[in-house]
Structure 1
């Protein structure tokens, strides 16, 4: 986990003082979140009762992102921070954000989720301390079970923050669960015939997705680092043996190795956005691509 420079810590203290004054003056209630899928869930449940501020901008990785001074002001104006769990930004910044904003309540939306340990951590020993995730995979929102955990924790947090509107939040929660269930039905229809098959991805974002639908995720990035030529060779061989057909790449990461593997294996190279605000649409799109139903398959 990277160390935050002293000047940033000083800035946090200044920002915290100014933001506290802003909170006393009232205004729209605000919640900060780390990634866009969280904003989707909160807004589905809370409606317009809270303004939701997402820290990680589009095209940036929440594993390594550092907030700007202006963002620090926004966060410090929040009544609460909903963390996704153990993603890199939160590991690096949450202690400082909490210490500088002691009135800001923090809720962990991964609470109660069966978390997957990072395999690299189990095998890399001391070097694993450089991994962005820590000891567990944080990408719980890429699964149906994870989405339900996030939704439940979000609803409970909103009720704690604003008990007067409990019925509104519970109604929003029930609607969201209905949407998640319908998403699951469609994804199962598309992916059930593919059980046991593999796909390739640069960054291991779809670990929970793969576990849930019986798929094998082959990752290009290893322990948060570019693969060596030998590792690339092994991956290409494994991909050929597993008959993988798709290489997924995200806009937050370099594409050259993904392009190389796609070329060597004959796989389709497809850009995805697991950090998309439109959680339902992106989940269905992932399943549709893997099933070869997106109109682009060979």
Structure 2
């Protein structure tokens, strides 16, 4: 489907016999896809939602392109996690008007819900501590889009901003927020029922991203391979994990779509441990009004497929 501004632009070009056209796009632009899911639910039928980070890229070290900068400048509203998670966003966002930006981790209601950083940090051998500290996002775990409660607060904040920016669309925005909150409550119950039988089953995740989701649904990870997904875990770390896979009888080790699972295959080889994949960014899910519900449900399915076994 052509964007409404593209159609407008084409009309102007036809009417004036060529020349150039600058589209006045005024969309909601989010840094990462899960925030795009939330924003799309609230902005549905009012304005479009775009996501900066392409599928397969990492939110930890993305480099903005000139076209990304342009999208940020033209955006009606820019939604991101915050400077400690997405350093690449800091400078361009600082140049925008405050009322047109929203950092979810900085919201007053969100701050008390933030979890402390790496909960397994003390178990990491010294050889890997340097790598881990390079990636440590200050004091808190900022993979906050994996918390249904923080997602709800993000939706409320996006709604508030859009009502301020587009007061004529208040009725539609109100209805969208109500719909999101109702669907979220139902999805949360459904996911809890899917994951409830898996409580107490041990597993390893590839990187330390899932704390909010695991806390919400009572899951019990034994640890993670790395805090920085860009850096391969050291030999000492892998030996430690392999020992624990055998001793703790972990049911599962989880890879992620954007990182090659070769290292995980090597560690699990010759053990009874199953391999699964967790997708913390919802790369296969289209941005749309039910995207966040699909995201939570899809992740539950990925945990369940591996942990429940045969």
TM-score range, shorter chain: 0.7 to 0.9
Structure 2 equivalent of residue 297 of structure 1: 309
Relative distance call for 1:103 and 1:148 in structure 2 (3 A) is closer
1:189 aligns with 2:193: yes
Number of residue pairs matched by the alignment: 271
Deviation for aligned residue 1:272: 3.1
Q: Deviations over 1:265-285 (max 9, x none)?
A: 432222332212433223223
Q: Deviations over 1:85-124 (max 9, x none)?
A: 3554x22331x11343347721122322211121279769
| Contact kept in structure 2, 1:200 and 1:219, CA below 8 Å | yes
Normalising by the residue count of structure 2, what TM-score does the alignment of the two structures yield? 0.77
1:239 and 1:122 map into 2 onto residues whose CA distance is 18
Correspondence for 2:216 among 212, 217, 234: 212
1:204 and 1:65 map into 2 onto residues whose CA distance is 18
Q: Which moved more, 1:155-164 or 1:51-60?
A: 155-164
- Structure 1 unaligned spans of 5+: 1-24
| Contact kept in structure 1, 2:275 and 2:306, CA below 8 Å | no
| Contact kept in structure 1, 2:202 and 2:248, CA below 8 Å | yes
Q: Deviations over 1:124-151 (max 9, x none)?
A: 9997662163332121122322322222
Structure 1 equivalent of residue 162 of structure 2: 158
Correspondence for 1:56 among 53, 56, 74: 53
- Which of the pair has the greater relative contact order for Cα pairs under 8 Å at 6+ separation? 2
Q: Which moved more, 1:239-248 or 1:53-62?
A: 239-248
1:101 aligns with 2:96: yes
Structure 2 equivalent of residue 257 of structure 1: 263
Structure 1 equivalent of residue 5 of structure 2: none
Normalising by the residue count of structure 1, what TM-score does the alignment of the two structures yield? 0.79
- Structure 2 unaligned spans of 5+: 1-21, 286-290
1:32 aligns with 2:29: yes
Deviation for aligned residue 1:197: 2.6
1:145 and 1:241 map into 2 onto residues whose CA distance is 35
1:129 and 1:233 map into 2 onto residues whose CA distance is 20
Relative distance call for 1:242 and 1:146 in structure 2 (3 A) is farther
Matches for 1:162-177 after TM superposition, within 5 Å? 162-177=166-181
2:47 and 2:66 map into 1 onto residues whose CA distance is 23
Q: Deviations over 1:215-238 (max 9, x none)?
A: 223211135532221111222233
Superposition misfits of 4+ residues, deviation over 4 angstroms: 120-129
Relative distance call for 1:126 and 1:265 in structure 2 (3 A) is closer
1:93 and 1:121 map into 2 onto residues whose CA distance is 28
SS of the aligned residue for 1:220 comes to: strand
Correspondence for 2:296 among 262, 283, 295: 283
1:211 and 1:86 map into 2 onto residues whose CA distance is 24
| Contact kept in structure 2, 1:62 and 1:87, CA below 8 Å | no
